[in-house]
Amino acid sequence: MHRLVLVRHGESEWNKSNLFTGWTDVDLSSKGVDEAKEAGKLLKEHKFDFDIAYTSYLRRAIKTLYFIQDEMNLLWIPTYKTWQLNERHYGALQGLSKLTTAQKYGEQQVQLWRRSYDVLPPALTKDDERYPRNDPKYKDVPDQFIPVTESLKETIVRVEDYWLREIKPQILAGKRVIIAAHGNSLRALVKYLDNLSATEIMQVNIPTGTPLVYSLDEQLLPVEKYYLGSDTRIEHKIEKAADPDRVME
Ligand SMILES: O=C(O)[C@@H](CO)OP(=O)(O)O
């Protein structure tokens, strides 16, 4: 049996102000920093230990992982960063308010952009300053992989590729793995691991800063899955991830 831990980053500045974020490299809010430290404490309290860590190229996930590792005295373990675990690219929606966008295009359309399997948000043009080709972080990423927008479907392709090439072999070799990533890149991995349908994945919302623990069998098929922490708090955070404007602190 193998154990895998997934953690969505703590609350970011743009989660707090409810803006579409995607590949925008925003920082954690102070609440997000506390959530990350809390996640590290919980993991330590429950005697988790890791041999390898993975995260994205985005600071909110990198810092969340750092605070977790710091709490667990695991800053020393091999830690790999990849653009393939980045948040789903939100195209031309990046930087817009989710509330104002829902008022303009209707809640149903926004829900499709946010949670459907294959509806693409409006694309960026390549002369847009938000186009990732202009960001030095992605200088080694070939052109065909640089997105102008992504649905969950495209996100799954890159997440699954990284999982199969890099992460899965390590777990099969007996390494204990933690992955700190994003709401939608983790939904991509959850859809893959749990073999969910396009309809089922629409209902999945990943709460910020909350360890999601998988027990996997020898084929890495899930046997058990649970969030670490208090049930009522987790429920509240899931509701907030689903509908940030309706759920207040
Ligand atoms: O803005 C984003 O990139 C994501 C995650 O914060 O938002 P949503 O939950 O709406 O997909």
DSSP string, 34-94: HHHHHHHHHHHHTT---SEEEE-SSHHHHHHHHHHHHHTT-TTS-EEE-GGGSPPP-GGGT
Q: Which of 38, 87, 150, 182 is catalytic?
A: 87
Question: What percent of the chain is predicted at pLDDT more than 90?
Answer: 95
Predicted pLDDT of residue 52: 98
The one-character DSSP state at 173 is T
The residue type found at 135 is D
Q: Given a cut of 90, is residue 231 above it in pLDDT?
A: no
* pLDDT band at residue 245 using 50, 70 and 90 as cut-offs: confident
- Give the number of the atom of ligand 1 that is nearest the alpha carbon of residue 183: 5
Length of the chain: 249
Kindly report whether the global pTM for this prediction surpasses the value 0.90.
Answer: yes
What residue spans define the domains of the chain?
A: 2-173+184-242
pLDDT of residue 247: 72
Rounded mean pLDDT, 164-189: 98
Residue 248, pLDDT score: 63
Q: Which is higher by pLDDT, 165 or 248?
A: 165
Instruction: Out of 69-73, 110-114, 228-232, 243-247, pick the least confident.
Output: 243-247
Could you list the residues known to form a binding site, using ranges: 8-15, 21-22, 60, 87-90, 98, 114-115, 183-184
Given a contact cutoff of 8 angstroms between Cβ atoms, the answer to whether 39 and 61 are in contact is no
Q: Report, as an integer, the average pLDDT of 226-243.
A: 91
| Element of type H or E holding 107 | helix 107-115
Cα 87 to middle of ligand 1, angstroms: 8
pLDDT band at 175 (very low <50, low <70, confident <90, very high): very high
Q: Among this protein's residues, is 9 annotated catalytic?
A: yes
Residue 187 has a pLDDT of: 98
Question: Can 87 be counted among the known catalytic residues?
Answer: yes
Using pLDDT thresholds of 50, 70 and 90, give the confidence band for residue 249.
Answer: low
* 2-173+184-242: CATH number: 3.40.50.1240
Q: Which of 93, 100, 50 is nearest to 70 (CA)?
A: 50
Q: Quote the Cα angle for 41-59-81, to 5°.
A: 90
Average pLDDT over the chain reads 96
- Per residue in 58-114, pLDDT (tens digit) is 999 999 999 999 999 999 999 999 999 999 999 999 999 999 999 999 999 999 999
70: number of Cβ within 10 Å: 13
Cβ atoms of residues 150 and 137 within 8 Å: no
